[in-house]
Amino acid sequence: MSELQQALQSVNWGLIAPVIVIQFILMLVAVIDLIRIKSTKGPKWLWLLIILFINIIGPVIYFVFGRRHTR
């Protein structure tokens, strides 16, 4: 067996899988919201990069700081 296969077998997927699923759901919801919203605080392309490349915290940063609150 290669070292990669051994490393993948030693991972506790019961702990990792929920984090991966939560990350995917957060990214998906944030990207859909970014597409639908009319304007953001800053350029949309920058928020897309933040959402996609800053794992887990990127979508949270977008929802807290990126959305314009309209009333």
pLDDT in tens, 50-64: 999 987 888 888 888
Is 46 inside a domain boundary?
Answer: yes
Tell me the residue range of the domain where 56 lies: 14-66
Is 38 inside a domain boundary?
Answer: yes
Residues with Cβ within 8 Å of residue 60, at least 6 apart in sequence: 26
pLDDT for res 25 = 94
Is 5 inside a domain boundary?
Answer: no
Is 60 inside a domain boundary?
Answer: yes
Nearest to 56 by CA among 32, 20, 29, 31: 20
CA distances from 43 to 2, 21, 29, 69 (A): 45, 27, 18, 16
Is 44 inside a domain boundary?
Answer: yes
Please give the average per-residue pLDDT across 1-12, as a whole number.
82
Question: What pTM value is reported for the model?
Answer: 0.73
Is 6 inside a domain boundary?
Answer: no
pLDDT band at 1 (very low <50, low <70, confident <90, very high): low
pLDDT band at 68 (very low <50, low <70, confident <90, very high): confident
- How many folded domains does the chain comprise? 1
Nearest to 46 by CA among 29, 28, 65: 65
Question: What distance separates the 2 farthest-apart alpha carbons in the chain?
Answer: 59
Q: pLDDT (tens digit, 9 = 90+) per residue, 10-48?
A: 888 888 889 899 999 999 999 999 999 888 888 999 999
